[in-house]
């Protein structure tokens, strides 16, 4: 047998049920057929609302914020004078005087523990020990 007679005798085998399962079928479109024209894009009522309404809403909100920032007067004012309200006074510590005594003398109507805490905070004290002649700020009545 020669190679030419063997190759000539082989014919392609066609499957009656289509192409084999392992291989995808190739679908070819004839060259003369043009793609179908697409319909023009149309927006629904909801689509128009989203497309036009959201930017208008965001712009309106930005304008309101800008108007509030620039048109409403500021409530905070800077002054160089003394601040009205509860003030302090400077006292000199006498020998043997404690923070408790200073608190009772400064504000006798308040709880002395609260006044002692305020004196410690005002003077940034690290200890409760006082020295005679020391200057301390205490709450003024």
Q: Quote the pLDDT of residue 69.
A: 87
Q: Quote the pLDDT of residue 36.
A: 76
Whole-structure pTM value: 0.41
Over residues 89-135, the pLDDT tens digits come to: 889 999 999 999 999 998 999 999 999 999 998 888 988 889 999 99
Query: Cβ contacts of residue 25 below 8 Å, gap of 6+?
Result: 18, 19
Q: Are 115 and 98 in contact (CB under 8 A)?
A: no
Q: Quote the pLDDT of residue 85.
A: 47
Q: Quote the pLDDT of residue 83.
A: 53
84: number of CA atoms within 13 Å, CB side? 0
Higher pLDDT, 85 or 138: 138
* Cβ-based neighbour number of residue 109 at 10 Å: 6
Q: What H or E segment, with its residue span, contains residue 7?
A: helix 3-9
* Cβ-based neighbour number of residue 133 at 10 Å: 9
Over residues 7-43, the pLDDT tens digits come to: 555 555 565 655 556 665 565 565 666 677 888 888 8
Q: Quote the pLDDT of residue 32.
A: 63
Q: Quote the pLDDT of residue 31.
A: 61
Over residues 57-98, the pLDDT tens digits come to: 999 999 999 998 888 877 766 666 555 546 888 899 999 999
Question: What is the b/e burial string over 50-76, where b = at least 16 CB atoms within 10 angstroms of the residue's CB?
Answer: eeeeeeeeeeeeeeeeeeeeeeeeeee
């Amino acid at each position: 047998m020669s190679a030419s007679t063997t190759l000539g005798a082989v014919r392609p085998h066609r499957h009656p049920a289509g192409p084999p399962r392992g291989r995808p079928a190739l679908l070819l479109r004839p060259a003369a057929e043009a793609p179908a024209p697409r319909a023009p894009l149309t927006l629904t009522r909801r689509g128009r609302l989203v497309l036009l309404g959201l930017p208008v809403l965001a712009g309106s909100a930005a304008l309101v914020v800008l108007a509030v920032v620039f048109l409403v007067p500021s409530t905070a004012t800077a002054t160089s004078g003394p601040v009205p309200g509860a003030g302090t006074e400077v006292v000199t510590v006498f020998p043997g005087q404690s923070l408790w005594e200073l608190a009772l003398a400064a504000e006798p109507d308040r709880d002395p523990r609260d006044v002692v805490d305020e004196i410690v905070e005002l003077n940034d004290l690290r200890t409760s020990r006082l020295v005679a002649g020391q200057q301390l700020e205490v709450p003024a009545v």
